[in-house]
Structure 1
Amino acid sequence: MPSVLPKDAEGRPFVACIIDGQPLAKSHRLYIPIFSSEKQNIVHVSQSVDANTAVLAVESSWKAFQTYRKTPTDERRRLLMKAAELFESGISDAMHRQMTETSCDEDWAKMNAGSMSVICQELAAALENLSDPAHDEGSTVVREPIGPVLSIIPWNGALLLAVRAVATALAAGCTVILKASEMCPWTHQFVAETFLEAGFPKGSVNLIVSSRGTAAEITEAVISHPHLHKNEFIGSPAVGRAIGAMAAKYLKPTIMELGDQSPLIVLEDADLRKAAQACAQGAKLLHGQSTISENK
C-alpha cells in the first residue's frame, strides 16, 4: 500500500473514506484539515461524510454481512493470519502515519504497530479453539454473529485500538463500520485497507470520518439505522454518556471503554519513592490522554 496520499482537485493531499471496498469519489467535497501539533501545520485533509453517505456505509456493511456471516471459521482464521502477515510487513508505513498525524514519539508508534499482527494472530488462535455449540435436553445454544458493528476509535492508541476493534468483529463473523478519529484518519485508513487487502470481502470493513462539529449527527445516522446491530466506543465519559443515551433510544447494544477512573493503589509495604515515580509516569502517559492514566 502506498504511503503517499493522492491529491484532490485543488492539489491537496487527502484521505479518502472507504465504502464497499472503494475510496469515496473525489467529487465528495466535504473536507476537514488534519493538524500536526508537532509541526504546527496542516499535514493533509480528509473527506468528511454527511448523513446520507454514512447510511451508505451501513447498507454496504449489511449487504456484505449476508454472505460473510456464513464464512467458515477456518476461512476467517486464514484471513486473519493473512492480515497479520500484511500488518507485520507494513509496520514502517503504519508508524509513519501515526507519528505524522498524532505527533506521538517513535516508541509509542512502534508499540502500537507491533501489536497489530499479534492481535490478529491471537484471534486466529482463539477461533481454532472454539467449543462446539452447547446441547441440553430440549435446547441447543449456537453462536451467531450479531451483524454490522459501528466502532468509534480514538487517536491515542490509533493503530492498536482500531485493529483490535475491527479484527474482533471480523473474527466473530460481523462486518464493521470503522468511524475513524478526525485526528488520525490516515492511520485508521491503513487499518481498513490492510484488512481488505488480506481478502476480507468488500463491505466487510467500511471507513468513515466526520468533523467534530457533525459527529453527533453522523453517529446518530448510523446508530439509528435498522441494519446497525451493535456499537463500540472508546473515549471520554462525556461522549460515552451521549452515545449510551443514543444507543438506548434505538435499543442498540453497546460496549464502551471509558476513562476517568484510574486510581493508583499504594500498599503499606510499597517503596514510596518508586510508587511516586510510577504515579507520575502513569499520569503523564500520552499527556494524560489515555483511559488508564492515573488521576487519583
Structure 2
Amino acid sequence: MPSFTVPLFIDGQELRPRHTFDVVSPATGNVVHSCSAASVAHADAAVDAAARAFTTWRKSSPTQRRDVLLAAAHLLHARRHHVAQCIMDETGASAHWCHFNISFALDTLKDTAGSIPTLHGSFPALTDPQTSAIVAREPYGVVLAIAPWNAPIILGTRSIVSPLAAGNTVVFKATELAPRTMWALVSVLQDAGLPKGVLNMIVHDTQSAAAVTSAVIANPNVKKINFTGSTAVGRIIAALAGKHLKPLVLELGGKAAALVCEDANLQLAAEQCAIGALLNSGQVCMSTERILVSKSIKKQFVDLLKACVEHKFCSDSDPPVLINAVAAEKTQALVADALDKGASLVLGSPESWEAGSTKMKPLIIDEVTPDMDLYTLESFGPCVSIITVDSEEHAVQIANQSEYGLSAAVFTQDLARGLRLARDIETGAVHINSMTVHDETALPHGGVKSSGFGRFNTARGLDEWVKTKTITFQN
C-alpha cells in the first residue's frame, strides 16, 4: 500500500475521503502514492469556501497579497528538492526539466508580486463638467483554475497566482497525473499566509472528471475560468463556460512550425529545432512539430539535425519517457500512418517500439504530406516532421494551414526578413533564431485560433483577472 495519500484541500483543511486512486510513475511503472478523489459534493464545498473567503480577500491590500506571494517564493525555494522529486516521480521528467519548472515558478511568484501595484483604476474626463467618473477595477470572485501535468509547477503556479494577486479566490482543479506536485504548490501558498478558503484544491479520478468539472463550472459562485490543456478538452470547457456565460482564458495545443531559410545558420537552427522538438520528450504545447526547410539547404540541414538529436537525445540508457503508454501509442500511430502513406524515417525505427511501454526513442520523419495525420495533428511526443518548401511564401502558407497558433520559429541571418515572416505567421509568438519553446514572465503568453485565447504573464496576464466598474457622480 502507498505510504502517502494526497489530500483534498477545502476551507483550510486537508481532507482524505475513503475513495482514492493510485498514482503510477511512468518511468518505473510503480505506484508512488495514492490520491484522494473528489466527488461533486467536495467540489461544491470548495466553491462555497472560496465564495465565503472572497468577501474579505477582495478587500485585502495589495501589500498583503504581495507579501504572501513573496513568502511563497521563499518557501518554494526552500522546498525545491522535494518538489523536484515529486515532479520526477509523477511525470518521469528529467531532473533538468524539473528544476527548470521550479525556477520558472519562482520567477512567476516574484514577478506577479511586483506587478500587483499596476492594478489601478482611472479618473477620466467627461463631456459634462458637472459630472465626474471613476473607472474601478475589481476582482471577479471565485476562479476555477485547471492545470495539466506536463509542466506542473509552472502551469499550476500561473493558473493560481494571477487570480489571487488580483483579489480573487481560487478553486484549483489539479491534475490526477501529478497531484502530489500540485499539493506541494498549494501547501507553499497556504503556508505563506493565505487565509483559509482563499485557495482550495480538488482532484478527481478519471471516471468522475466530467461530473466534477461540469458541476464546478455550473456553480453560480464561479465567475471566471482558466484552463491549460489539450484543444479537445478545451473545446468542452469552452462549451460548458459558454452555456453558463462564464468568461475564460484558454491555453491549448499547438503544432509549432520552425521555418529554416536558405540563409540561416544551419548549425544553430539544427540545435534549436532538436531541443525544441524533444525537450520533455516533446510533451510541451510549444514543441517544434514541423520544420519547414528550404529545398536548397535541406540535405545539409537534415544531416545536422540528425547529428544533434543523436548527440543530445538518443541515449540507450535514458530514452524519452512519456506520461503513459496511451501517449506513446498515440504518437506511434501518427508515425505509422505517415510511413504507410509514403513518409520516410531519417532517424528512429518502429522496430524499437514496445507495446505498453512509456519509453520511446526520438523520431525524425521526412516527406510528410497533407494526406497524413501527422501533418495536421499534434503528436505531443518525441518526433518531428520535415516538410520541404520552395519559398518563404510557401513556408508561411504551410505554417498558417494549421488550425493551431501558439508558437513558431524563424531561422535567418537577415533580421528584416525574420521580422517580416514573423508578422505573417498566425501565432501567439514567433522566435527568430531560437526554438519554439519559449516562455518567460516578462512576455505575455497565449495563442490564437485553436490554441486558445487570453494571456498569461505580465501586467496583461494580471488584467485578465479584474473587471471594470464605472461609477459616476455629480460634482
Alignment counterpart, residue 16 of structure 1, candidates 7, 15, 25: 7
- Aligned residues of 1:65 and 1:148 also touching (Cα < 8 A): yes
Residue 218 (structure 2) aligns with:
224
Q: 1:135, CA displacement in angstroms?
A: 2.7
Q: Within 1, Cα distance between the matches of 2:187 and 2:78? A: 14
Q: Within 1, Cα distance between the matches of 2:274 and 2:152? A: 23
- Aligned residues of 2:121 and 2:134 also touching (Cα < 8 A): no
Q: 1:276, CA displacement in angstroms?
A: 3.3
Q: Within 2, Cα distance between the matches of 1:135 and 1:22? A: 45
Q: 1:246 and 2:240 equivalent?
A: yes
Q: 1:131, CA displacement in angstroms?
A: 4.1
Which residue identity is paired with 1:111?
F
TM-score, length basis structure 1:
0.92
- Aligned residues of 2:254 and 2:285 also touching (Cα < 8 A): yes
Larger % of strand: which?
Answer: 2
Three-state SS of the structure 1 residue aligned to 2:289 is coil
Alignment counterpart, residue 59 of structure 1, candidates 40, 48, 53: 48
1:240-279 pair list within 5 angstroms? 240-279=234-273
Tell me the number of residue pairs that the alignment of Structure 1 and Structure 2 aligns.
285
- Aligned residues of 1:84 and 1:121 also touching (Cα < 8 A): yes
Three-state SS of the structure 1 residue aligned to 2:110 is helix
- Aligned residues of 1:88 and 1:116 also touching (Cα < 8 A): no
Structure of greater relative contact order (alpha carbons < 8 Å, 6+ residues apart): 1
Q: Can you list the C-alpha shifts for 1:148-168, whole angstroms capped at 9, x where unaligned?
A: 111110111111111122111
Structure 1 unaligned regions, length at least 5: 1-9
Which is worse superposed, 152-161 or 109-118?
109-118
Q: Within 2, Cα distance between the matches of 1:293 and 1:244? A: 24
Q: Using a 3 Å threshold, how does the CA distance of structure 1 residues 128 and 39 change in structure 2: closer, same or farther? A: same
Query: What RMSD in Å do the two structures reach over aligned CA positions?
Result: 1.5
Residue 6 (structure 1) aligns with:
none
Three-state SS of the structure 2 residue aligned to 1:142 is strand
Residue 280 (structure 2) aligns with:
286
Which residue identity is paired with 1:91?
R
- Aligned residues of 2:50 and 2:142 also touching (Cα < 8 A): yes
Q: Within 2, Cα distance between the matches of 1:173 and 1:203? A: 13
Q: 1:198 and 2:189 equivalent?
A: no
Alignment counterpart, residue 98 of structure 2, candidates 99, 109, 126: 109
Q: Within 1, Cα distance between the matches of 2:224 and 2:26? A: 34
Q: Can you list the C-alpha shifts for 1:6-39, whole angstroms capped at 9, x where unaligned?
A: xxxx774211110011111x4x111111010111
Q: Within 2, Cα distance between the matches of 1:11 and 1:83? A: 28
1:21-36 pair list within 5 angstroms? 21-24=12-15, 26=16, 28-36=17-25
Q: Within 1, Cα distance between the matches of 2:104 and 2:229? A: 20
Q: 1:45 and 2:34 equivalent?
A: yes
- Aligned residues of 2:83 and 2:184 also touching (Cα < 8 A): yes
Q: Within 2, Cα distance between the matches of 1:90 and 1:255? A: 30
Q: Can you list the C-alpha shifts for 1:272-296, whole angstroms capped at 9, x where unaligned?
A: 3432342232222222221101122
Structure (1 or 2) with the larger CA radius of gyration: 2
Q: Can you list the C-alpha shifts for 1:183-224, whole angstroms capped at 9, x where unaligned?
A: 110000011111111111111110100112221111101000
Q: 1:83, CA displacement in angstroms?
A: 1.2
Identity rate, percent? 36
